[in-house]
Chain A
Amino acid sequence: MSITTTDTKRRAATGALTVRDLTVSFPTATGSVDVVSHLDLDLEPGSALGIVGESGSGKSLTSLAMMGLLPPKATRTGTVTLGTEDLTSMSEAQLRRIRGDRVAMIFQDPLSSLNPYYTVGAQIEEAYRSHRRGVTRRKAHQVAVEAMERVHIKDAARRADHYPHQFSGGMRQRVMIAMALATEPELLIADEPTTALDVTVQAQILALLQEIRRETGTSLILITHDLAVVSEVTDHIVVMRSGVCVERGPVEAIFSDPQHHYTQRLFDAVPRIDDEIGDLRSLSPTGDHR
């Protein structure tokens, strides 16, 4: 690796995120609807937070809101603080400097998230060169290849000249991670990174994320609906439902003794090998079980 591990750890020590009273709303025909409602989050430097919830709980929008990537129709209130800087009061130009540099995101579907017209190497270089002044193409290419090696893509030098459609799903996600890591971010936000992947590949990607955290001390926010994924990788979790946080706490505590009935239902929904085969339980809109 071309940079020292201590360097990274020191920089990542500032990867602390604080979110206060985050609310995201969309206008509809019947008035404004809150899709995220008064959300508070705390992320310690170097730790990993899981945001768990079913589809429509507002978890993905939370990450977009933090990065200032909401669609134009949405309105956002509340504060998001990275280290000591308030992201919500920044101009778009200032935010652009932070996106992809101090905070990086990876998304659910790596095939559609990569531009099919450019090589993966070019796309990684592009991320790097946007945030480093006066970098030559060769240097950027070198960084791209190293990033790909770091995520264990074999034959990285050759494969950097390949196009996204020439990679398998798992490899593509590694490429996305490489792209995110190229600039050594303080914080990595992963939005459903394994949902589109096979279970075996899923395990590899999660292991990779853990390895990266260990080596670089980057903070991680992992957004998913899959409890198994969250239990492997995160320290704390926040359970969201309809835009509201219904429970939060250390992952072991939540898993061993979920307090809120929605969280309990979530756990119940995961089939276990020693479960009795009983009635199908489902969630009514108010969260009570039938």
Chain B
Amino acid sequence: MPRYLAGRVAAMAGVLLLVCLFTYAVFFLLSPDPAVQICGKNCTPDRIDQIRENLGLDRPFWTQFLTFLGGLFAGRTYGVGPNAVQCAAPCLGYSFQSSQSVTDMIVQRLPVSATVAIGAAVLWLLVGVISGLVGAVKEGTWVDRTLTGLTLGGLSIPNYVLALVLQYVLVVQLQWLPFPQAVPFGEDPGRWFLNFVMPWIVLAVGYAAAYTRLTRANVIDTLQENFLRTARAKGLAPRLVWRRHALRPALTPVVTVFGMDFAGLLGGALITETVFGLNGVGKMAADSIAKNDQPVIMGVTLLAAFFVVVGNVVVDVVYTFIDPRVRVAA
């Protein structure tokens, strides 16, 4: 087991390194000269050169990349002299436009993104799995057919369209919800909660639809399995048959999918946050793209990739615990 884990961690590090390199290279090639940006107005070519030298922007690509990597682990200093800025480890970059280290910016916004992700995750898991179970148990009935239709709809509606529809119906017409407005939790918990209701719904709908279909298909398949027949032939109580022999095998694969989905969301739900004006990591990424704040874009990209890759490994490890067939040691 430890060897397996070590192997996976090594592979994970490899992928992350590649993602790092690839992202860095692409942005290196595509981004406008940061020195020009920093210099601002009233710039002279000498000044630009000076900045470039201070920040090490005139060094070759590989040197810059390695410096960046080093900064990830040990922190780094940008610039020299009195204007130098410290960037503590893990240094994902420094945003000169906002005068903050990217890591700090992300940390400030992570709670909002996490709230959106967790709330939506709870919602879609509950709705998806329960609907899927209902659909499987009532297979072929009108309940099942309606559910199938709803899931197809849920899969198809783009979340920004749903966001607009919900806002129009719930806020403007029915006035069940107030206009979304950023309110800190301490100030007004009720209002804070209401602000997240629509983002949670919008984000959860697509996933809930997908999970309903997945759960339903898994349960239906599991109910056909031979070991279900054995369980019934043993005269087990229906509740036991259902819990141990139907649900456990059917729901286990859902765990994998959920792990990956959730990990993917931790990088920020870009569209949902933007549409609802939530100050999370996703919105920061969108804003930075509009402002061309390259270090932030890179930092967020790396962070999101990190969560996905780590999530992958975590899911695999968890899976070895829950599925005996996958366990490495006997």
Interface positions of A (Cβ within 8 A of B): 67, 69, 95-101, 104-105, 107, 109, 112-118, 126-127, 130-131, 162-163, 165-166, 176, 179
Residue in A95, A96, A118, A162 whose beta carbon sits within 8 Å of that of B237 in the complex: A96
Segment 206-261 of B: residues with Cβ below 8 Å from A? 225-227, 229-237, 240, 244-245, 248-249, 252
CB neighbours (8 Å) of A69 from chain B are 229, 232-233
**For the complex, is B324 an interface residue (Cβ under 8 Å from A)?**
yes
Q: With A117-B324, A166-B330 in contact, is A101–B235 under 8 Å at CB? A: yes
Residue in A96, A100, A113, A165 whose beta carbon sits within 8 Å of that of B229 in the complex: A113
CB neighbours (8 Å) of A126 from chain B are 234, 236, 240, 244
**For the complex, is B323 an interface residue (Cβ under 8 Å from A)?**
yes
Complex alpha-carbon distance, A126 and B323, angstroms: 19
Residue with the highest number of chain A CB atoms closer than 10 Å, among B231, B240, B330 = B231
Q: What's the minimum C-beta distance from A34 to chain B, rounded to whole angstroms?
A: 22
CB neighbours (8 Å) of A99 from chain B are 232-235
CB neighbours (8 Å) of A98 from chain B are 235
Q: With A96-B235, A96-B237 in contact, is A107–B229 under 8 Å at CB? A: yes
Give the residue name and chain of the B residue nearest to A127 (CB): B234
Complex alpha-carbon distance, A207 and B80, angstroms: 87
Q: How many residues of B are in contact with the other chain, CB < 8 A?
A: 22
Q: With A126-B244, A165-B325 in contact, is A114–B227 under 8 Å at CB? A: yes
Give 19 pairs: A residue, B residue, CB < 8 Å, sorted on A: A95-B235, A96-B237, A98-B235, A99-B232, A107-B226, A107-B233, A109-B226, A113-B229, A114-B227, A115-B230, A115-B249, A116-B325, A117-B248, A117-B252, A117-B323, A126-B240, A127-B236, A130-B240, A165-B324
Q: With A107-B226, A107-B229, A126-B244 in contact, is A116–B324 under 8 Å at CB? A: yes
Q: Are A112 and B323 in contact (CB under 8 A)?
A: no
Q: Are B233 and A105 in contact (CB under 8 A)?
A: yes
Q: Are B230 and A114 in contact (CB under 8 A)?
A: yes
Complex alpha-carbon distance, A117 and B233, angstroms: 18
Q: What's the minimum C-beta distance from B240 to chain A, rounded to whole angstroms?
A: 7
Q: Are A130 and B234 in contact (CB under 8 A)?
A: yes
Q: With A115-B249, A163-B325 in contact, is A107–B230 under 8 Å at CB? A: yes
CB neighbours (8 Å) of A101 from chain B are 235
CB neighbours (8 Å) of B226 from chain A are 107, 109, 112-113
Complex alpha-carbon distance, A112 and B230, angstroms: 9
Give the residue name and chain of the A residue nearest to B248 (CB): A117
CB neighbours (8 Å) of B323 from chain A are 116-117
Q: With A114-B227, A166-B330 in contact, is A104–B325 under 8 Å at CB? A: no
Residue in B227, B233, B237 whose beta carbon sits within 8 Å of that of A115 in the complex: B227
Complex alpha-carbon distance, A117 and B234, angstroms: 17
Q: With A112-B226, A117-B323, A162-B330 in contact, is A100–B244 under 8 Å at CB? A: no
Q: With A69-B229, A179-B234 in contact, is A115–B244 under 8 Å at CB? A: yes
Complex alpha-carbon distance, A228 and B330, angstroms: 37
Residue in B225, B235, B249 whose beta carbon sits within 8 Å of that of A97 in the complex: B235
Complex alpha-carbon distance, A114 and B233, angstroms: 12
